[in-house]
């Protein structure tokens, strides 16, 4: 039986391996680090005293590829979130609070009710979505909408930064429209927010590794790909430094690597290399917020501050700052003070003393999702007959998220399967 060699055990590589293993294909999964997950991982932090995620990853009920992946590995019930689509917000400047609740179905009749609209907005403000739908390939979000008004500050800007990890002045309008088209434009059933109930590793990584091992997939940690050796139109050898793996006739390779790493081993690959950071902070709360129950999870959007989202699991509050180029350059101690002040205000907790805070900086969290970078996203197919690409940065039609990573893994699995069938 021919074998598929998957290099990279982040979400894209895991999704590819899961898809192939489910189809009965022989596969080997290689990972440079000592654990799987890539940017989607968890670890025990002694300062906070519990397991933390390296970042906050939000799924929507419309993320069908990611949810199918969870179903395959037996972890679909490990997600939690509100029973219905509801997005509470707080304006840290004014103290005003509101909740965005889309209605069922694609017709957005909820915007006709002043009580359901975002404070300070009118019906006409929501028509900006159609300008995004008509955006050209070079248009940014700011080109299509009206910067500075209430709709911009309280919806478009935070949505763009959260979904694309790129400021709206430079973010691709077409890419944001794809998010809207698959979520809010379809109604409440498609935009219910969900997060891992316990941890990213417990939901997305450990069950996948258990599934792959049960299917006979070989998993090799501490294998960093140094080079690919080619002969004509085919890759022939995977060079891991201390170990070289020769490819048998009919074997396939899936490079599920970050863009810079992929470009380093695939000559001539024009990948989007400009990146944007995300800063996350995890706080051990000194006391439960008013009305909080044990083990419950809540999500709160923050307007007018530094962080855009606050996630709370029981006694841990986690805040996310996307497109955080300036913040990531500051000392972690400064960041901790800023996010704790916003957390104390949001959860109505005493500001003094400051509890333990762990700051995590993902300096290359995603590629910069600008029109130019989106145009550079390659597909799964490469110039070599037995090499395919996977990664959230490839051309999945979706922003660089868990959903995009899983879609890319599935696309790569479909391509190598097609190639194998065509050579029989």
pLDDT in tens, 255-273: 999 999 999 999 999 999 9
pLDDT in tens, 360-394: 999 999 999 999 999 999 999 999 999 999 999 99
Quickly tell me which residue has 């109505």 as its tokens: 348
pLDDT number for residue 43: 94
Class of 275-367 in CATH: alpha beta
Residue 292: band (very low, low, confident or very high) from pLDDT cuts 50, 70, 90: low
User: What dihedral do alpha carbons 375, 371, 260, 160 form, nearest 10°?
Assistant: -130
Q: What's this model's pTM, rounded to 2 decimal places?
A: 0.95
How confident is the prediction for the chain on average, in pLDDT? 94
pLDDT number for residue 418: 94
Residue 107: band (very low, low, confident or very high) from pLDDT cuts 50, 70, 90: confident
Give the 3-state secondary structure of residue 33.
Answer: coil
Q: What is the DSSP letter of 102?
A: P
User: What dihedral do alpha carbons 219, 223, 227, 229 form, nearest 10°?
Assistant: -40
Which whole number is the average pLDDT over 210-238?
97
pLDDT-above-90 percentage for the chain: 90
Kindly tell me the burial class for residue 80, based on how many C-beta atoms sit within 10 Å of its own C-beta (0-12, 13-18, 19 or more). Answer: middle
pLDDT number for residue 127: 87
Which whole number is the average pLDDT over 339-346?
96
pLDDT number for residue 210: 98
Q: What is the domain partition of the chain in residue ranges?
A: 3-41+200-273+370-422, 102-191, 275-367
Does 3.30.800.10 match the CATH number of domain 3-41+200-273+370-422?
no
pLDDT-above-70 percentage for the chain: 97
**CA separation for the pair 346, 151 (Å, rounded):** 21
Which whole number is the average pLDDT over 69-95?
94
Which whole number is the average pLDDT over 50-55?
92
**CA separation for the pair 50, 359 (Å, rounded):** 14
pLDDT number for residue 62: 95
**CA separation for the pair 180, 184 (Å, rounded):** 5
**CA separation for the pair 39, 256 (Å, rounded):** 13
Residue 79 pLDDT greater than 90, yes or no: yes
**65's tokens:** 């590829």
**14's tokens:** 């895991």
Q: Are 184 and 111 in contact (CB under 8 A)?
A: no
Kindly tell me the burial class for residue 84, based on how many C-beta atoms sit within 10 Å of its own C-beta (0-12, 13-18, 19 or more). Answer: exposed
**CA separation for the pair 25, 251 (Å, rounded):** 11
**What are the start-end ranges of the H helices in 221-370?**
259-265, 325-328, 332-347
Q: How many CB atoms lie within 10 A of CB 270?
A: 11
Residue 296: band (very low, low, confident or very high) from pLDDT cuts 50, 70, 90: low
């Amino acid at each position: 039986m021919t074998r598929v060699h998957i290099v990279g055990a982040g979400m894209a590589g895991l999704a590819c391996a899961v898809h192939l293993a489910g189809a009965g294909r022989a596969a080997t999964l290689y990972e440079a680090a000592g654990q799987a997950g890539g940017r989607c991982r968890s670890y025990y932090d002694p300062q906070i005293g519990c397991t933390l995620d390296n970042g906050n990853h939000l799924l929507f009920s419309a993320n069908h590829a990611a949810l199918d992946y969870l179903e395959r590995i037996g972890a679909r019930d490990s997600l939690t979130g509100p029973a219905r689509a509801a997005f509470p917000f707080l304006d840290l400047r004014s103290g005003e609070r509101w909740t965005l609740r889309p209605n069922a179905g694609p017709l957005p009749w909820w915007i006709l009710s002043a009580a359901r609209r975002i404070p300070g907005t009118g019906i006409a403000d929501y028509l900006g979505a159609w300008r995004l739908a008509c955006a050209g390939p070079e248009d940014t979000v700011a080109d299509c909408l009206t910067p500075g008004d209430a709709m911009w500050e309280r919806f478009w800007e935070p949505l763009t930064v959260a979904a694309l990890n790129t400021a709206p002045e430079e973010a691709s309008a077409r890419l944001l429209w794809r998010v809207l088209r698959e979520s809010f434009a379809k109604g409440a059933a498609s935009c219910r927010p969900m997060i891992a109930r316990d941890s990213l590793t417990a939901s997305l990584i450990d069950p996948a590794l258990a599934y792959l091992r049960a299917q006979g997939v070989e998993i090799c940690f501490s294998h960093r790909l140094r080079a690919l050796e080619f002969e004509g139109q085919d890759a022939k050898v995977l060079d891991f430094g201390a170990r070289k793996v020769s490819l048998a006739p009919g074997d396939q390779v899936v490079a599920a690597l970050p863009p810079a790493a992929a470009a380093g081993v695939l000559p001539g690959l024009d990948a989007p290399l400009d990146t944007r950071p995300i800063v996350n902070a995890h706080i051990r709360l000194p006391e439960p917020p008013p009305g909080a129950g044990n083990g419950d999870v809540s999500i709160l959007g923050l307007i007018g501050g530094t962080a855009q989202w606050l996630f709370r699991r029981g006694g841990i509050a986690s805040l996310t700052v996307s497109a955080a180029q300036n913040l990531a350059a500051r000392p972690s101690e400064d960041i901790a003070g800023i996010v704790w002040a916003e957390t104390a205000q949001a959860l109505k907790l005493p500001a003094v003393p400051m509890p333990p805070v762990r700051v995590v900086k993902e300096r290359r969290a995603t590629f910069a999702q600008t029109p130019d970078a989106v145009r550079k996203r390659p597909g799964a197919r490469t110039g070599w007959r037995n090499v395919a690409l996977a990664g959230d940065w490839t051309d999945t039609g979706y922003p660089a998220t868990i959903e995009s990573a899983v879609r890319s893994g599935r696309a790569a699995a479909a391509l190598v399967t097609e190639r194998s069938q065509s050579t029989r």
